[in-house]
């Protein structure tokens, strides 16, 4: 987390050009790939993460956290959480 509004804006615009470490950019590239189509994640992606300094435990943690956020966001979307005119009771 950061209280730096400029950093937040840069990350929202494009993390690839934000002033963050190459290690974090590598991690976020993996997270984007996992989010878009996890079946495309491969041992090559894990090699890139290892080369960036992540060990197997770190790779597992990144994967679990990203997958959990994807899951919980889908649940919230399906239930209309945070939207105007919340989902009707069934």
The per-residue pLDDT for 61 is: 98
The per-residue pLDDT for 4 is: 84
The per-residue pLDDT for 28 is: 97
For residue 34, give the nearest of 59, 7, 1 by alpha carbon.
59
The per-residue pLDDT for 73 is: 94
DSSP string, 53-81: T--HHHHHHHHHHHHHHHHHHHHHHHHTT
**Interatomic CA distance for residues 86 and 89, integer angstroms:** 9
The per-residue pLDDT for 84 is: 73
The per-residue pLDDT for 37 is: 96
For residue 67, give the nearest of 30, 35, 29 by alpha carbon.
35
Mean pLDDT split into 10-residue runs, the chain, 90 residues:
83 93 97 97 98 98 97 94 64
């Amino acid at each position: 987390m950061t209280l730096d509004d400029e950093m937040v804006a840069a990350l929202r615009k494009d993390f690839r050009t934000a002033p963050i470490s190459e290690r974090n950019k590598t991690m976020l590239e993996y997270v984007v790939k996992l989010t878009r189509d996890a079946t495309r994640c491969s041992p090559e992606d894990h090699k890139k993460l290892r080369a960036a300094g992540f060990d197997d435990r770190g790779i597992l943690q990144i994967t679990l956290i990203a997958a959990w956020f994807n899951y919980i966001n889908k649940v919230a979307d399906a239930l209309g959480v945070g939207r105007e005119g919340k989902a009707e009771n069934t």
